[in-house]
Amino acid sequence: MDVYISSGGNQRGPYSLEQVRTMREKNEIAPTDYVWYQGLPAWIPAAQLQPDGSVGPPPLHQQASLMHSASMVLERVTGGLSSIAGVGKVEGLHRREFFSEVFKKRTDDDIEALFVTGTRTTTPPLNLIDTRWPRPWAFFHALVGAVLLFAGFYYAANHFQNVNSIPGLILVGSFGIPLATLIFFVEMNVPRNVSLYQVFKLVNAGGLVAIMITLFLASAFTTKNVWVWAVSTGIIEESAKLLTVIFFMRNRRFIWSLNGLLLGAAVGAGFAAFESAGYALQFLFKDISNSAQGQETNLMLEVIGMRALLAPAGHVVWTGLATAALWRVKRDQPFSWGMLADQRFYRIFLLVVACHAIWDLNLFDSYLIAYVKYLCLGFVAWVLVLGYIQDGLKQIREAQKGAVETARAPVTPVQT
């Protein structure tokens, strides 16, 4: 009988019953560990495994078993997503440690130092790049600030019916949360070789060039089929945003996949912001038209509120993922269209298009089902983002190791 042991989310084995018995006697298996062997429907607490291999009565605390089962299911789902995307399974990321810097007090100098990047004096050399999991904090402060500011404008517009609050509501709702999400990717770019000038150039480009390309491509394609429309929208918009990154950054010396993640997120943030502002204005006109007919509606408030809330799960991460996949192929080579045929790119691009298409499909007239769908798609996207961050850190570590080995290599004397 082959017995497997799960401890702290890590699986080991197989072991024989005799080995497991010895490990329990030496306290090498903790009470919180779980075991499984062929024939068991699920993992069981180690305390239930009897010396003869049978299963004893369950422990009193069934909640721990349920939590472990849920953890195992989540682990399998995230592992499957990482495998589909072609990136490694996320390991060594501890939630408490990851967000440990969020509530630490910061001085103005600390904040300014974070955003002064990409210059000759602030870009660290390869050997000094910190390849540990980053500990983001600035994005959280920006996100909370954007949410509070949006909530204030939303309350003023909804409660006081104050027209003067509407421009602020549209501006903050459209730009605040996407840009706060973008700051997360700035913090993840540990090479610190991309300046804020480049970032916000792409934000503006995402708002103008990508939308213009989208309108041009969409004008040549019309359909009444909701499935074809959703898929075509995903293909057109994701292609337009990717083409924008390629156009502005194809000759730049940004060689890391973490660079691609940031550059794509910048275009995605700009696209999301200007698109949301357009939708807000469109539904504001509808509210005005309904009001003229004696019908009081708040369609604009609903739309801008929903798009602000869901901004971290959409365009920002989708374009970041597609560009990170392309930069993973590109590295330090000049861009060529043949790179788009590399499976390391098109696998993730097709996955992004699929997420976009499912996002746009509204087959059920239910807010609950819609938000569950959005949350699930956001979960998928952020699992892949973490996978690409881990892959990017590994890429830099390998480059650092290669540089050290090159420096240590003996020099062959030149014969004269």
| pLDDT tens readout for residues 245-286 | 999 887 778 999 999 999 999 999 999 999 999 999 999 999
Confidence label for 67 from pLDDT (cuts 50, 70 and 90): low
Average pLDDT over every residue of 400-407: 84
Confidence label for 202 from pLDDT (cuts 50, 70 and 90): very high
Residue 232 tokens read as 């075509």
Confidence label for 412 from pLDDT (cuts 50, 70 and 90): low
| Strand (E) or helix (H) holding 336 | none
| Helix/strand/coil for 163 | coil
pLDDT surpasses 50 at 89:
yes
Four-CA torsion 289, 276, 314, 148, nearest 10 degrees: -100
Residue 50 tokens read as 């009897």
pLDDT confidence of residue 10: 73
| Strand (E) or helix (H) holding 37 | strand 34-37
Query: Lowest mean pLDDT: which of 211-220, 253-262, 313-322?
Result: 211-220
| pLDDT tens readout for residues 360-385 | 998 777 888 999 999 999 999 999 99
Confidence label for 60 from pLDDT (cuts 50, 70 and 90): very low
In angstroms, the CA 229 to CA 231 distance is 6
pLDDT surpasses 80 at 409:
no
Residue 68 tokens read as 């472990």
| Helix/strand/coil for 232 | helix
| pLDDT tens readout for residues 164-187 | 888 999 999 999 999 999 999 999
On average, the pLDDT of the chain sits at 86
pLDDT surpasses 70 at 115:
yes
Four-CA torsion 270, 275, 276, 280, nearest 10 degrees: 140
pLDDT surpasses 60 at 151:
yes
The phi, psi pair for 335, rounded to 5°, reads -70, 140
Residue located via tokens 């589909």: 84
| Helix/strand/coil for 7 | strand
Four-CA torsion 111, 117, 123, 124, nearest 10 degrees: 30
Domains of the chain: 3-64 (3.30.1490), 98-402 (no CATH)
Query: Residue type for 315, please?
Result: H
| pLDDT tens readout for residues 25-47 | 877 887 668 888 888 877 787 87
In angstroms, the CA 361 to CA 370 distance is 9
pLDDT surpasses 80 at 223:
no
> What count of residues does the chain have?
416
Residue 302 tokens read as 């609903």
pTM given for the model: 0.80
